[in-house]
Amino acid sequence: MFSQLRPALVAFVALAIITGIFYPFTITLIAQLAFPSQANGSLIAQNGTVVGSALIGQHFDDPKYFWSRPSATSPVAFNAGASGGSNLGPTNPALLEQVQARIEALRAADPDNTAPIPVDLVTASASGLDPHISIAAANYQIARVARIRGLDVARVRDLVAQYTEGRTLGVLGEARVNVPQLNLALDGIAGE
């Protein structure tokens, strides 16, 4: 029995060092060298203070900002430690109530806008952390944001175009707008 115990312990220690120390260190080093921004959370800083991440959405409900996709994380919205969807099916009354409440909030923030509300403004993403909205969702909000901030609609539309990201690798997904970065840029215009 002891003759089998020693090789098992040596194998355990060797694999623990390889998989618990060497491999994570190597991958972390490669990530820091090849993708330093992403490896450190793609943090967004303003005046030297971190105000968010380009990879994680934030809750905006002030009409002067573009609103993000809703988040289904708990106990608070956009909780990166609790990523996940609501798991509510399309016929679930709770989901229907949430969507209706979101529609009412959007209509109350911009009562003159009679355009159809894009679905990504009233439904959460699968992760609940998505920082992006569709171009249609951004376009739906342009007039409201421009009016409340006293900006020309064309200027806000240009800013949306500036923060629009194309398809990943040119073929995956759809073009999208990064809401935290766009709202930060809007705040920068206000400071001009």
Domain ranges of the chain: 1-40, 43-190
pLDDT beyond 90 at 87: no
pLDDT > 90: percent of the chain: 58
Rounded (5°) CA angle 66-67-68:
120
Neighbours of 124 (CB within 10 A): 24
When pLDDT is averaged across residues 155-168 and rounded to a whole number, the result is 94
| E strand segments, the chain | 43-46, 49-53, 132-134, 164-165, 176-178
Q: Cβ contacts of residue 175 below 8 Å, gap of 6+?
A: 134, 135, 164, 165, 166, 167
Q: Calculate the alpha carbon distances from 127 to 43, 53, 73, 101, 145 in Å.
A: 19, 15, 8, 21, 27
pTM of the model: 0.79
pLDDT of residue 39: 87
Which of the four pLDDT bands, split at 50, 70 and 90, describes residue 190?
low
**Longest Cα separation, the chain:** 82
pLDDT beyond 80 at 74: no
- Min mean pLDDT across 68-72, 135-139, 142-146 is at 68-72
- Arithmetic mean of pLDDT over the chain: 89
Task: Give me the sheet containing 176-178, strands edge to edge.
Answer: 132-134, 176-178, 164-165
| pLDDT single digits (tens) 123-138 | 988 887 889 999 999 9
pLDDT of residue 17: 96
